[in-house]
Amino acid sequence: MQTDHVLPLVAPTIMPVLDPAFRPAVLAARAWRSLVHASGAPVPVRLALEQADGSVFRTDTEALPAAHPRAGANPAHLERLVKFLLWSRGGWRLYLDGPPELARSLAAHYRDTATGRFDADLVAVRMFDHPLEVVHTRDLPAERSVTRPLGRHLRGCRIGFDLGGSDRKVAAVIDGQVVFSEETVWDPYHKPDPQYHLDGIMDSLHKAAAHLPRVDAIGGSAAGVYVNNRVKAGSLFRGVPQAIFDARVKDLFLEVRRAWHDVPFEVVNDGEVTALAGSMSLGVNAILGIALGTSTAAGYVTRNGNITSWLNELAFVPVDYNPAGPADEWSGDIGVGSQYFSQQCVGRLIARAGLEVPEAMGLPDRLKAVQALMDDGHPGAAQIYDTIGTYLGYGVAHFADFYDIAHVLVLGRVTSGPGGNRIVDGARAVLAAEFPDLAATMAFHVPDEQDKRHGQAIAAASLPEVPQ
């Protein structure tokens, strides 16, 4: 075990073939718990994260006593934990019952550091309409949350769409059967004028509608956070200046609905639809869906088949504690999911695998080049998928500390072709070697080609309920 960083860094039993410096968050967290318990005097720390609707999520952890020689790691441990909570659960007010210096250090992080300010602004302010608060108190609110059913409405003539960072998909669906589908390349991330986004969405909807006798409902998924069809935050619109975002983007999908004569309409986070699609096609619940696309999308369906008010934005949660790990291009943080479960990950591993790809080539085309090499049996391409599979195994083990998971659905553009099975095989190998308890209770799934093409669209189309 290395101790040259403030947090314990543990080398994994199965090392990613292209990333020997990888230090999984799950192993660091377990080493931390062992270190704290070995101190003989663990300091309880209780946390509660509150959302704008009054939902509260509770968790407990422990810190080292102040006299311990490694007590300087307490703030770093707490910050990584709270970051995971912020992006997986979401909220704006954090209650902390523990040493006052930990509350002060956490408040300073969100006030004074670039990555902390990014998290505070995007999660608390833009998603929950409040500045982030850190409240030091012994009086924590009780946990309370609401789950609700999502989608599964298949009757009628429907359109389903999915907006990704490199393509948008649309399908026409009649009573649960896809009669038309299309995938269109686009580049929304850095477009400053939301008219580009609106025109693209409308173009796809019109193409689908041409294959239906009528349009009874429209459902869609997109990266970001959506409440009552209003855009709270979304990576697709990161290039839009804030003033224009407030004026045009927040109500963009309400504008789309009006253009379609106010038919039943619902747009939700793409990760939620990923999990819903898996639950519908597999007939199971307690499922975490992880889509490896332009970035990382995730969603969760409870054991009762419902969704929660959680964010599930696993693109931003820490999965690697290596201080020299890759930085996320948007938040600037080190070791978060978007750099390990996405096209971005493929792009950064290409050179390490000894593959030659033109530097000017965009990430979608780089992925296609790697997939073509994989089809040809190139060992370097196989190493990329093996590395991602190892990342995924340790990542899922970490997610299991925060989610009740019986099934993991792995999909997205990165998983297309034989590389997808190689990723899942690698993840299974990690669980078998390091986490046999999880290996015995958790099943991985890769959609078949039909589900890859149509599952997300059918799930998205099923979102709105049409009055009888």
d(CA 376, CA 368): 12
More reliable by pLDDT, 293 or 214? 214
With 70 as the cut, is the pLDDT of residue 3 above it?
no
pLDDT value at residue 452: 64
Q: Mean pLDDT throughout 140-168? A: 91
pTM of the model: 0.90
Task: Using pLDDT thresholds of 50, 70 and 90, give the confidence band for residue 453.
Answer: low
pLDDT digits over 311-320, tens only? 999 999 999 9
Q: What domains lie within the chain, and their CATH numbers?
A: 39-136 (no CATH), 157-264 (3.30.420.300), 273-457 (3.30.420.40)
pLDDT higher at 31 or 226: 31
pLDDT at 205: 97
User: If you search the block for the tokens 């509770």, which residue do you land on?
Assistant: 58
Average pLDDT of the chain to the nearest whole number: 93
pLDDT at 199: 97
pLDDT, residue 164, reads 86
Decide if pLDDT at 456 tops 90: no
Quick one: pLDDT at residue 224?
83
For the segment 45-73, the average pLDDT, to the nearest whole number, is 95
In whole angstroms, how large is the CA radius of gyration of the chain?
22
Residue 2: the pLDDT is: 38
Query: What would the mean pLDDT of 24-34 be, rounded to a whole number?
Result: 97
- Using DSSP bridges, classify how beta strands 93-97 and 43-50 pair: parallel, antiparallel or unpaired: antiparallel
Beta pairing partners, 320: 24
pLDDT value, residue 449: 67
Contacts of 121 (CB under 8 A, 6+ apart): none
Rounded mean pLDDT, 164-177: 91
Q: What's the confidence (pLDDT) of residue 270?
A: 86
Q: What tokens does 414 get?
A: 């990165």
